[in-house]
Structure 1
Amino acid sequence: MLTGTALMNELVDELNELKLSTMTVTLDDLYHKPGFLEMDNLTLVAELIGPQFQEKVSTTLKNRLTVAYL
């Protein structure tokens, strides 16, 4: 079972393989924050997924505006 740095490296590799670069950066940032180990599970998931979701929504909107010539 992986723990600590080895687990983080594995997760970063997996997120990069899935092309979730924003989530990769966010996880790394969260991991290095002093309060990381005290975060509850739902907050951690929300903090991790939020920026990736916002990027996806923004890209989708931008693409639709481009197609509509707006």
Structure 2
Amino acid sequence: MKASMIILVLTIITCAVISADACPKSKYFKGTCNALTRDCQIHCTRLEGAKSGQCVYKFPSFRCTCCR
């Protein structure tokens, strides 16, 4: 019982860290991340003209977050 409670707490913490906003108040989503590298930097900066990009988990998949 104690072990399952610890696993539950760790899962909740992990999900909170993964889903944290890359750039609050100035973000927009553009497609899914690169399947192999989970990298959005090139897509966001070169193709979208954004300052930066980060791959974040937004249910149900990983998405590119481009920062303006």
TM-score, shorter chain, exceeding 0.5: no
Q: TM class by shorter-chain length? A: 0.3 to 0.5
> Could you state the TM-score of these two structures normalised by the residue count of structure 1?
0.32
> Could you state the TM-score of these two structures normalised by the residue count of structure 2?
0.33
RCO comparison, higher one (Cα < 8 Å, 6+) = 2
Kindly indicate which of the two structures has a greater share of residues assigned to strand: 2
